Amino acid sequence: MTRRARVVAVFAAALCLRAGAVQAHDGPPYPIVSDLIAGAYSISIWTDPDATDDGTPEGKFWVMLAGAPGTGRDVPAGTAARVTIAPTDREGPPAAGAAVPVDGTLTNQYIALLMPHEGAYRVTVDIAGPLGPARVESHVDATYDTRPAPILLVVYAFPFVAIGVLWARVMWSRKRQATGNRQSATG
C-alpha cells in the first residue's frame, strides 16, 4: 500500500471513530395546542415526543402562557404548569411533573417526560396560579428517534470509503505507469 493510500485510510478511520460525537437533530418541536383560552390564560403547548427504551425522558413539552385577551394581565409570579401524559392505545402508568421556567420566565415552561413506547398519548396541562386554575388536554403520537446509532455511520460509509480508496489506488497506479512510459520513451 502506498504512503498516500495509508494516509487516506488513516484519515477515513479517524472520521469513522469520530462518528460517535456526531449528533443529528430529528426535527423541531411542533404545536399541539395554539393560543387556547382556558380560564384567565392563553395557552400553547409545543412538543417533541420521542419514545425511548432506555429510561431517558425524551418526551419534551413546552408550555407557553399569556394572560387571556381582554384581561390586560401578564402571567403573575407563582403561576405553575404541571404536565401529565398517559398512553391511550394500551395500558400503562401516567407520567407527570412540574414544568420549570425557561430562562426564568413564567411565560415559557419546559419539562421532559418518559414515553416508554411508541403510540398515542393524552397530554394534560394543569395551570395553577393567582389568576386561578386552568386545564388543557390534547393528544400526541410518540415515535422512536429515527436517527441511526452512530456506529451505523461506519457501516453505511464503509462501501463509499472503500471504493474511494480503490479508485485512488487505480489513479496513482495509472499516473506511475504514465510517468514510467514517458521516461522509457525519452530514455
- Reading the block at residue 116, the C-alpha cell is 416508554
Neighbours of 51 (CB within 10 A): 18
Q: Is the pLDDT of residue 128 over 80?
A: yes
Helix (H/G/I), strand (E/B), else coil: 101? strand
Mean pLDDT confidence for 48-54: 87
Q: Is the pLDDT of residue 14 over 80?
A: no
H-helix or E-strand spanning residue 120: strand 119-128
Pick left, alpha or beta for residue 72 (phi over 0 → left; psi -120 to 50 → alpha; otherwise beta): left
Q: Is the pLDDT of residue 6 over 80?
A: no
pTM, 2 dp: 0.64
Quote the CA–CA distance of 23 and 155 in Å, as a whole number.
Answer: 16
Q: Is the pLDDT of residue 4 over 80?
A: no
Q: Is the pLDDT of residue 167 over 80?
A: yes
Mean pLDDT confidence for 173-186: 76
